[in-house]
């Protein structure tokens, strides 16, 4: 279990878990999916593959941030600027 990448994976998981608190479908929904996704690859040992997966996780973080931003922006636009076409 002393994989040198373990710390990074745990960090990624924590960051994603934190982001999931704001998920539109609810934190529980997000956490379940997140956990399944991580558990699916629990037996992976190849460092190259793990790195790839971490990169993918970081990509997901970016996507989530963009999603939250857009959601907020749209909500505000609808509330305050709905008259411009």
Partner 1 sequence: MARVLVGVKRVIDYAVKIRVKPDRSGVVTDGVKHSMNPFCEIAVEEAVKLKEKKVIKEVVAVSCGPQQVQETIRTALAMGADRGIHVEVSGKDYEALGPLQVSKIMAALAKKEEAKMVILGKQAIDDDCNQTGQMTAALLDWPQGTFASEVTVEGEKVKVVREIDGGLETIKINLPAVLTADLRLNTPRYATLPNIMKAKKKKIANVKPGDLGVDLTSRVEVLQQGAPEGTERRTGGWTEPRNSPPGPLKCAVFCYHFFRSAPGPRPPSCSRAHSSRSACGVGFRLNTALKNNARQTGGRPQTCQAESSRPPNLILDNHTARTRRPDALIPARGTRDSQEG
> Distance between CA atoms of 19 and 38, rounded to whole angstroms?
16
- Of the listed pieces 2-10, 12-20, 27-35, 42-50, which binds partner 1 according to CB under 8 A? 12-20
Using the rule CB under 8 A, which residue among 6, 14, 49, 56 binds partner 1? 14
- Which tokens belong to 16? 């994603």
Out of 15, 38, 54, 60, the only residue in the binding site for partner 1 (CB under 8 A) is 15
44 within 8 A of 53, measured Cβ to Cβ: yes
10 binds partner 1 (CB under 8 A): no
Q: How many residues does the chain have?
A: 85
From the CB of 81, what's the least distance to partner 1, in Å?
7
């Amino acid at each position: 279990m002393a994989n040198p990448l373990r710390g990074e994976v745990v960090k990624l998981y924590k960051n994603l878990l934190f982001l999931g608190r704001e998920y539109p479908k609810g934190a529980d929904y997000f956490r379940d999916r997140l956990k399944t996704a991580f558990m699916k690859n629990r037996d992976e040992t190849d460092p190259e593959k793990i790195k790839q997966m971490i990169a993918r996780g970081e990509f997901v973080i970016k996507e989530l941030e963009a999603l939250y931003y857009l959601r907020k922006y749209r909500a505000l636009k609808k509330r305050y600027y709905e008259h411009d076409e």
